[in-house]
Structure 1
């Protein structure tokens, strides 16, 4: 079975949080979650447990789309080196640079 994407995980954690916030018991919330997302009760309990630990809704991460474009090799080398030095990914660096260029605030991916 395939792993959930970050967006799916956030959606499921937020659903678990909402169920608990409405006053459902852990068992009721797990049953609702397992039905809503067609998952096992065991997996639903894991989401409920994690939602309880976090204690608040989590931000839903926007999914990423692959984009291909050409850059001079020296620029690619510089971006790779900078990403490695900062301990981040090239995707994250490019996303931050483009957001800054476009004047948008924050966000990942």
Structure 2
């Protein structure tokens, strides 16, 4: 889409509709593509439910808001980082 000189807004809407992404996520993918980053492997997401202390949930939401990402993205990054460290240290 970017090679065809379609505008970012139009491309984001098209990606959002085609792949069921949020517009924010579509913009992120477009920014990665514009920067020449290698494509991310597509994988289906599943919904899980977590229970945590209210104060931790407030901190999670505040952290996500301050960085302009979703709480799901913060949790995904944290779990992925935890699993990488866990694999290294057994």
* TM-score normalised by L of structure 2: 0.51
Aligned partners of 1:91, 1:100: CA distance in 2, in Å?
Answer: 14
Q: Are 1:80 and 1:90, in contact at CA under 8 Å, matched by a contact in 2?
A: yes
What number of residue pairs does the alignment pair up? 57
Aligned partners of 1:102, 1:59: CA distance in 2, in Å?
Answer: 19
Q: Aligned residue for 1:87?
A: 68
Larger Rg: 1
Q: Are 1:6 and 1:61, in contact at CA under 8 Å, matched by a contact in 2?
A: no
1:23-52 Cα offsets, whole Å, 9 max, x none, are xxxxxxxxxxxxxxxxxxxxxxxxxxxxxx
What residue ranges of structure 1 are gaps of 5+ in the alignment? 8-56, 105-109
Q: Aligned residue for 1:14?
A: none
* TM-score normalised by L of structure 1: 0.43
- 2:42 pairs with 32, 40, 61, which one? 61
What residue ranges of structure 2 are gaps of 5+ in the alignment? 1-16, 22-37, 86-90
2:22 is the alignment partner of 1:4: no
Shift of 1:4: 2.5
